[in-house]
Structure 1
């Protein structure tokens, strides 16, 4: 049994539930059939288990150090990354014309999930690089694509995103990094960026920093932000990395988790000019950067899911093998002990993990499919697909970050005191996963994004599209006797979402309208996961009726669906009720009341 992947569940999602072979029968991903996908997954699993997994604990215990202005990395990190790029995986989801393999985003995300599960601290380096390279393909000049993005796709160079500053944090309107024209389409950047993941190292020939900064005549606020490409090393006439570009590593942050991924403070222009190049149009940098961030937000949700999955698989294996105690009512100390999994409360915690992790994985996979659908859809349908993904993006980033972290908690609990020691990976997984609440926008920011912006776009078209798809699944399940009651519960939950949304959008006081946006985000996410569990249960019933093997697998799917509907879905009613009534408990509490005298 692998501790980083459940291949049976992946096959169920990709081929039984989402019918990926049919989706790949024509269009840009034609020919990417089940055999090819399985071969890719086999390769990824082999490399992840051989090169990434064995060093996860040691990298956490001895993370990179800051020495003589550089981040010093253990040699095995570079070897693992080289194994990944040598297998062509850094190029997997990019267009063939740029040196990529043309693999669908759905398959690529699934492949990368194994590396995230095995050792997220190492996997982060190429996950961020891929997002940066895609941004350049979308907004960069032809020269930027050929001179920079192509090397990132090949795995020779890496990339970062540089947004936050010491005085601004998440408030990008307050950034002060400046970009002054220097002739020949170049700019000199000066400023400080913090929380920069994957910078400061020497594991690649070059690092391409994507930096938000202001032009001298830029308007105030977010409307005056531009995006610049700033290489760690300038390129010579042959296009090879040459002299240093004065991007100075000031220090490394010491994080509670994902400790092997460098987290840097970088100074631009401190020891001389940091030469950069405008990406996209002036003062439209935030629009371009969000192209990268939205992909990264789906990625963060997937990373959180994979951390939850590893915890689930490990605790399941432990519960199956560990003998402890006896059944209730069996008091004879001479009788044999039973495996932990025989205890009902252990099964409750395993079901809680399974419901969260497999529900979240279905959500991440569905969002990746929407990315691919936009590439093969008719132009008239692309706008709707984009709106649907806009609504789901804050949910896919946030729901797994909350509930798969909770799954890690249950995994630790199953091991008892042992779960909280470094002898087992669970306490590390919990620490790693806790960061996903923060990465690519905090939970609160995502709530405001969903209720304050996404559900209001195009007069609510995105939310309507989502609810239409949920209604279609409800209608199908209503005719299946084993699932008809679940269909009725989900229909009721959709009503909770509609009522809460209408009440919040009708409130003219925006601050009061958004006072419970985080509750709205989490509860709406729970309804969405309920939909995806009902969908999984429908497929499981159909597979059983069709005589498919692995009856226990499909019964487990239905059991997890039952658990989610009975234990989790009802909680959404409470939170959406607070949104619906515009509860002002938090809004009415003043800062003075919370300050300690």
Structure 2
């Protein structure tokens, strides 16, 4: 990982976001920069010692099922133990539940080190998201029995949404949940149901890292006629533990009817189990006086406890999904950053060729490090611009979470709405462009980059997943153009525009940044014009036909804003790191921001080339 990553994080946290100012707020009053640095030091050390040395190992020694349990390398067990013992699972939680009451911004920055060291070993993204959902929407008993053991590292968590036949179309899920007997509502852990169905692509769905796995499962409750309600409004949310617990979260010794149907063998993230799970197939039948009659009178079906009201499951699940989307964005960012640092080190030490010009024509001259070649510098600058720009966006979004939690009413509401608009970008933009950074890292290495002797090919393979999971690229684009920019009469879009305008006004005062400021102002005007044109007649078919190009242009404009604001702060300092940030900003405005015009043109004109392509013409 090296000092470069820590220096970049420190600059963004303390010089740009000035996160130390949060310690003036009551929730964070016990903290200081010293405590923040201590947390980052701990995360950096664990990532360096327990994660990074084993990144290749977990890629080659994939999880395997021995017929009874999933086998993972010992290094994965050691890494999870160290992570759980660090307290990072409950870092941002209240003191009274064992948390550190850290700002979420510091939690996000600390977790960045683990993603850079080995995203495949993984940290606690799904477990923390699962627990946070239950802390927000679960009953006190559900929080005590499931969320608190997750935050302590004894249990881990998953999210179970997709099904083999439905994929991302949640309205088509068929997993069903029926009340478990006449007294199903009296269970201390919540209304008790029996679930049957299949869930696909469940990360960390089966392993022996923790005492229990808490599955959060979307399912439908049949109506009086036995039919499942149509659409997403009939979806409810259930806690389905791998092993059953009592009201205090203690294991009862009984296995729930959740069975591993298979492990998916992936291009990347090979160290993380990815599973197909069967709920209620009868492999581990749950019977006994404590439970009702079940689906067929013989105790069939997995035990699940309903979270909240029936039919509200998708709304609750979005609490976890939005957290996971930002987590995916950070993972993509740090994989890009890891590739960038590796290719930068390689370019500084690999000698090949001679400079262009008269001096380079003398074969007696020794070859030079490839970093001296303009095209290699181009590839390194692109990686730096993509990855450090994405990191700024991730930490900016994390800072919005802290504002939502601790700001006054108006500031918290503004942060909420800005986060709604930025979440599709925070997930999708790094997933596309930090993947491109990984591709460039391979290119810098030349043929060696295409071999497994160097780590950059693994970073690319690991990163390729991030455009897919937690909502594909196309889904994020539909969410952005079809919902987020329109919500609350476009107020979120207006708030974002106001923040961009404030940065533009400040940057105009810096002569070296004035041209960039104007370019950003023009770009935002172009985004707004395309937004209006797309929805000019209210036809969603035409408006959303080019949602992905719209999201690409929107994302590039947001990252340009990040870079301009970062450069505004960097311009006050001196030294190579500050000059590097100014040069990366210059690169982004000269080489990247001009890309938005053709993207926005097809949005603005509502070009239907793709939508009107006949199926048979392919």
TM > 0.5 fold call: yes
In the alignment, is residue 302 of structure 1 matched against residue 363 of structure 2?
no
Q: Kindly tell me the number of residue pairs found equivalent between the two proteins.
A: 586
Query: Is 2:179 the partner of 1:181?
Result: yes
Q: 1:508 aligns with which of 535, 538, 553?
A: 538
Structure 2 residue aligned with 1:519: 549
Instruction: Find the aligned partners of 2:386 and 2:368 in 1 and give their Cα distance.
Output: 27
Q: Secondary structure at the match of 1:203?
A: coil
**Residue matched to 2:606:** 582
Matched, 1:341 2:380: no
Structure 1 residues 440-459: aligned runs within 5 Å: 440-459=470-489
What corresponds to 2:278 in structure 1?
267
Please say if residues 3 and 314 of structure 1, whose CA atoms lie closer than 8 Å, have aligned partners that are also in contact: no
Q: 1:318 aligns with which of 340, 346, 363?
A: 346
Partner of 2:170: 172
- Give the 4+ runs in structure 1 shifted more than 3 A: 2-5, 236-239
Secondary structure at the residue paired with 1:508?
coil
Secondary structure, in 3 states, of the residue corresponding to 1:282? coil
Please tell me whether the aligned partners of residues 69 and 250 of structure 1 are also in contact (alpha carbons under 8 angstroms).
no
Distance 1:237 1:280, change over 3 A: closer
Q: How does the TM-score come out when normalised to structure 2?
A: 0.93
The CA distance in 1 between the partners of 2:279 and 2:171, in whole Å, is 19
User: Match for residue 133 of structure 2?
Assistant: 135
Paired position in structure 1 for 2:41: 42
Shift of 1:506: 1.8
Aligned residue in 1 for 2:580:
556
1:542 is paired with a residue of what secondary structure?
coil
Which of the numbers 507, 516, 519 marks the counterpart of 1:489?
A: 519
Q: What's 2:305 paired with?
A: 277
What does residue 432 of structure 2 align with?
Answer: 402
Q: Which residue of 1 aligns with 2:106?
A: 107
5+ residue gaps, structure 1, are: 545-550
Deviation of residue 380 (structure 1)? 3.1
State the SS of the aligned residue for 2:65.
strand
* Per-residue CA distance 1:57-105 (angstroms, 9 max, x = gap): 0110111012204321112111110011112222212222222111111
Contact 2:149-2:249 within 8 A present in 1 as well: no
Deviations 1:153-188 (A, max 9, x none): 001110000000011000000001011101232111
- Equivalent in the alignment of 2:263: 252
Assess, with a 3 A threshold, how the Cα gap between structure 1 residues 239 and 365 changes in structure 2: closer, same or farther.
closer
1:120 maps to: 119
SS of 1:196's partner is strand
CA distance in 2, matches of 1:494, 1:264: 42
Equivalence for 1:565: 589
How far is 1:27 from its partner? 3.1
Q: Does the 8 Å CA contact 2:403/2:411 hold for their aligned counterparts?
A: no
8 Å CA contact 2:222, 2:229 repeated in 1: no
Query: Does the C-alpha gap of structure 1 residues 423 and 3 become closer, same or farther in structure 2, counting only changes over 3 Å?
Result: farther
Q: Does 1:224 align with 2:234?
A: yes
Determine the structure 1 residue equivalent to 2:244.
Answer: 234
1:507 to partner: Cα distance: 2.8
Structure 1 CA distance, aligned partners of 2:68 and 2:490? Answer: 50
When normalised by structure 1's length, the TM-score is 0.96
Q: 1:474 aligns with which of 504, 529, 532?
A: 504
Q: CA deviation at 1:3?
A: 4.2
The structural deviation recorded for 1:4 is: 8.3
375-384 vs 362-371, greater mean Cα deviation: 375-384
Contact kept in structure 1, 2:508 and 2:514, CA below 8 Å: yes
Structure 1 equivalent of residue 51 of structure 2: 52
Aligned-CA RMSD value: 1.2
The CA deviation string for residues 225-264 of structure 1, in whole angstroms up to 9 with x for no partner, is 0000000000146632221001000110001000110000
Cα distance in 2 between the residues matched to 1:236 and 1:106: 35
